[in-house]
Amino acid sequence: MIATLQSATLVGLAATPVRIECEAGSGLPGFSLVGLPDGAVRESRDRVLSALRNSGFSVPNRRITINLAPGDLRKEGTAFDLPVALSVLIASDQCPALPSQIGRTFLGELGLDGQVRPVRGCLAMITGLREIGTTQVVVPMANLAEARLVPGVEAIGIARLDEAAHLIRTGEIPSQAPPPPAAQLHSCLPDFSDVRGQESAKRALTIAAAGNHNVLLWGPPGSGKTLLARRLPGILPALSQEETLEATRIHSVAGLLEPGAGLLQHRPFRSPHHSSSMVSLVGGGSVPRPGEVSLAHHGVLFLDEVAEFPRHVLESLRQPLEDGEVCISRAQLAVRFPCRALVVAAMNPCPCGYLGARLRQCTCSETEVARYRSRLSGPLLDRFDLHLEIPSILPEDLEDLQVRSQDTGTLAAQAAAAREFARKRQGELPNSRLGGAQLREHCQLRSGSRQFLIQAARRLGLSARAHDRTLRVARTIADLDGSVPVEDLHLAEALSYRNAAQSGR
C-alpha cells in the first residue's frame, strides 16, 4: 500500500510543498528514504522508528520506501519527521486515515519518545503555503503561537505522535493551547536622557529616524557613540502590521523566535561583532540563511568599530545598502532576503582613538591614520547619508546637574511629525528612498539654492550619489521644520554632515 501526506520545506523565505510518499511493500525488511535528502532528513529514519516504538506502535516488518517529491529539490531540516512517521502508520495499516485529514500539511520534528518538537521557519513556511492555497496545517504545539499569526490558515498544535495518529484516524482535534495574551506594549528601550550632552548628535539621529537615513559616527573612545546608537530604535515609529509580519518571518527562518512567541513587538536591533564573517553579515551558506543585515530588516543594524571589520566583509554591504535586498545565488537556485535596515556605523578617528580628543594626546602618525581610515572605501562612505563627529565629553559637563538632556519621547515626537508631514506628500516611501523623478519632484530648489548646492558639491568633491543623498537629507530637515520648500538653511545643515566627514579624512 502507498500512503501520501503533504509537508513543506523552505527555499530562502519561500515555502515549497513536498509530497511524502510511503510504500510498505514485500521484500527484506528495511527503511530507505529518497528524494535528495540532506543529513538531517536521512537521520529521520532512526528518530521515526524509535518514536513509533515508544508511542505504542509497531515497526512494520516490511520493506519501507519513503519518497520526498519533487525529487530534484534538496530537502533539509527536521520538519519531515512527523509526516514520514504518519505515512508509515497509514501504509502499514496501523492507522487508517480519513480522506478529510489527508489534505492537511504536516510539520514537526520527532523525539525518540514520540514528542513533537518545534521546527525552524514555521511562520515563513505557513505564510508561503497560504500563498499557494493551503488552508490547514498541523504543527508542533510549541510553534502554534506563530502559526496562528497567519490569517486564513487553520493551525492545529500537536504535542505527541499518538495525538497526530488519533487526529488523522478520527478527525478529533486534541485540546489546544490558548492563544497568547495580547502583548503589553511598554517602553523597555534605553532612553536618550541617559546620554549627557551630545545634543547635536541627538539632532542628527532624529534626522536619521525621520527619513530613515544611514549614519556614520566617529569620535574618540567613551564619547557616547554606542550609547547613542543603542537608543535610536526608541525614536523610530512603531512597526506596522505588514512590517511586523515581514520581520518576524525572517527571524522565524533564522530560528530566532522563542517557542510559543508571537510577533516581534519592537524594531530589530542587530549589533554583530567586528569578527563576523561575510556569510554571517549578508547571509548565505550551503543552505542559504538570512544574515545580520536581513535580521535587521525594518530595524537598526549597528556596526560598532566598523573599521575593524575585514574590508571584504564591509564591501559586501554595498549592494544590499543600495538595493534593500540580498540576492544569494547557487548553482541550482537563487534566493532573496529583504534588508531595508537603517545602518549605523561607529569608528574611532585613528588607531589609538584619540585624534582630536580634548583630554588625551594622539600617538598615531599621519600614515597610520590614513591607513586606518582607508579601511572604509569611498563607495561605502557614499552610502552613509549622515557623517557625524562625536566629540569627547569633559568631566565637568558630566557632573553639571543643570544641563537638561532631551529624552526619547521628545525626539520620537519630532521624528513622527516629520514622517507624517512627508507621508501626506509622498505616501509611505521614506525620504531615503526617493529617487529619480520623485527626488526632483519633492526636493525642488530655487535657482539660488540650486547654485549653492552645486558650488558646495564641487568644493566637497561629492559624487552624484552623495549629491542626491545630501538632497534627501535636506528634504528630511525641511520636514522636521514643517517647510514645504527646501531652503538654503536646510541644505547647509545637510552639507555640514558631509563636510564633517570630508574634513576628518
Residues 154 and 301 in one domain: no
Residue 248 is assigned to a structural domain of this protein = yes
Q: Report the run of H or E that residue 417 belongs to, with start and end.
A: helix 408-426
Residues 218 and 164 in one domain: no
Question: Grid cell 523565505 — which residue?
Answer: 13
Domain that includes residue 426, residue range: 192-504
- The whole-angstrom separation of Cα 126 and Cα 147 is 7
Cell numbers standing for residue 248 = 518576524
Q: Which amino acid would we find at residue 346?
A: A
Minimum mean pLDDT range among 171-180, 186-195, 307-316:
186-195
Structurally, the chain folds into a number of domains equal to 2
Residue 176 is assigned to a structural domain of this protein = no
Contact indicator for 128, 58 with CB cutoff of 8 Å: no
Residue 175 is assigned to a structural domain of this protein = no
Residue 253 is assigned to a structural domain of this protein = yes
Residues 494 and 347 in one domain: yes
Residues 223 and 254 in one domain: yes
Residues 164 and 223 in one domain: no
- The whole-angstrom separation of Cα 419 and Cα 24 is 62
Q: Is the pLDDT of residue 268 over 90?
A: yes
**Taking all residues of the chain, what is their mean pLDDT, rounded to a whole number?**
89
Residue 185 is assigned to a structural domain of this protein = no
Minimum mean pLDDT range among 10-19, 307-316, 358-367, 394-403:
394-403
- Closest by CA to 83, choosing from 28, 131, 137, is 137
Residues 88 and 161 in one domain: yes
User: Exposure string (b/e) for 11-32, b if CB count within 10 Å is 16 or more?
Assistant: bbbbbbbbebbbbbeeeeeebe
pTM assigned to the model: 0.88
Q: What is the CA 135 to chain-centroid distance, rounded? A: 27
Question: CB 208: neighbour CB atoms within 10 A?
Answer: 28
Residues 75 and 146 in one domain: yes
Residues 160 and 202 in one domain: no
Residues 202 and 156 in one domain: no
Look up the CATH number of the domain holding residue 329: 3.40.50.300
Residue 180 is assigned to a structural domain of this protein = no
Look up the CATH number of the domain holding residue 34: 3.30.230.10
What does the pLDDT look like over 299-356, one tens digit per residue? 999 999 999 999 999 999 999 988 999 998 877 778 899 999 999 999 999 999 999 8
- Residue ending a domain, among 136, 170, 204, is 170
Residue 232 is assigned to a structural domain of this protein = yes
Contact indicator for 223, 397 with CB cutoff of 8 Å: no
Residue 84 is assigned to a structural domain of this protein = yes
Residues 354 and 311 in one domain: yes
Residues 147 and 224 in one domain: no
Residues 395 and 461 in one domain: yes
